[in-house]
């Protein structure tokens, strides 16, 4: 899971501000589970920024329909779509509660990340499978992801294809293959080390 692969919620304990970035917002499932965990673990005064790069945003109905199979998340999903602005405007910034900001940047990932003026503490790399969507795993994009990662920042992905691993390594990450969950036998996690 993306949270555990980035050593969350543990890392939240030592930072007042934490920036997560994601490739592919999709139904918002990752965001909603992260928000749920964040609401449980945060302390007063801390802030979570979650930025997702998505080229083909879904509408509110599609999000609610998809999330309805996860009853634990339905309340937060309702809150998410309540004020759902036009996702085709970009960027879309929501202050979902006083400690949580969600930003969705509607763009091709390479362009969106390349122009992003910030860096992430943790990345969720969640493009479709590399066989179907090579663009989401290209060496150019992985270089941009690395360039937009704070030192000791991390990433996690359910993809474990060898060429994706090599792209992540040659961009600069220290990459490890670890056991996955369910149908995903392996996942990749990595860190941008000090040097
Ligand atoms: C596996 S889904 C993401 C699932 C999502 N993280 C969730 O929690 O529901 C992959 C997403 O990547 C988006 N996508 C595909 N190619 C893209 C690209 N080149 N740039 C940006 N987004 C892209 C798709 O529209 C899709 O929503």
H/E run at residue 132: none
Listed by start position, the domains of the chain span 2-58+88-191
pLDDT of residue 85: 65
Using the atom order of ligand 1, give the atom closest to the CA of residue 135.
19
Q: Closest ligand 1 atom to the C-alpha of 58? A: 27
- Whether the pLDDT of residue 19 is over 70: the answer is yes
Give domain 2-58+88-191's CATH superfamily: Vaccinia Virus protein VP39 (3.40.50.150)
- Ligand 1 atom closest to the CA of 136, numbered from 1: 19
CA of residue 53 to ligand 1 center, whole Å: 8
Between CA 115 and CA 105 the distance in angstroms is 10
Q: What is the CA(50)–ligand 1 centre distance, in A?
A: 15
Task: Determine which of 17-21, 23-27, 158-162 has the lowest per-residue pLDDT on average.
Answer: 158-162
Shortest-distance Cα residue to atom 15 of ligand 1 = 127
Does residue 137 carry a pLDDT above 70?
Answer: yes
Distance in angstroms (rounded) separating the CA atoms of residues 29 and 14: 25
Q: Which two tokens stand for residue 147?
A: 């360039």
CA distance 27 to 7: 23
pLDDT in tens, 32-45: 999 999 999 999 99
Given this model, what pLDDT does residue 30 score?
96
Q: How distant, in Å, are the alpha carbons of 90, 187, 194 from that of 86?
A: 9, 34, 40
Strand order in the sheet with 186-191: 92-97, 100-106, 47-54, 17-23, 120-125, 149-157, 186-191, 174-179
Q: What is the pLDDT of residue 20?
A: 98
CB 94 near ligand 1, within 6 Å: no
- What integer best gives the mean pLDDT of the chain? 93
pLDDT in tens, 79-119: 888 866 666 677 788 899 999 999 999 999 999 999 999 99
pTM above 0.85, yes or no: yes
């Amino acid at each position: 899971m993306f949270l555990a692969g980035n050593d969350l919620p543990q890392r939240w304990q030592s930072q007042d501000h934490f920036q997560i970035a994601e490739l592919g917002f999709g139904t918002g499932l990752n965001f909603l589970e992260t928000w749920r965990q964040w609401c449980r673990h945060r302390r007063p005064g801390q802030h979570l920024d979650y930025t997702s790069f998505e080229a083909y945003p879904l509408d509110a109905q599609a999000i609610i329909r998809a999330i309805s199979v996860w009853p634990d998340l339905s309340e937060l999903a309702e809150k998410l779509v309540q004020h759902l602005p036009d996702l085709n405007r970009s960027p879309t910034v929501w202050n979902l509660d006083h400690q949580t900001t969600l930003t969705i940047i509607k763009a091709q990932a390479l362009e969106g990340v390349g122009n992003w003026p910030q860096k992430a503490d943790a990345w969720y790399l969640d493009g479709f499978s590399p066989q179907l969507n090579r663009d989401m795993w290209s060496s150019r994009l992985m270089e941009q992801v690395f360039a937009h990662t704070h030192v000791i920042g991390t990433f996690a992905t359910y993809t474990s294809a060898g060429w994706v691993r090599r792209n992540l390594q040659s961009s600069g990450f220290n990459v490890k293959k670890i056991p996955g969950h369910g149908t995903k036998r392996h996942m990749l996690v990595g860190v941008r080390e000090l040097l």
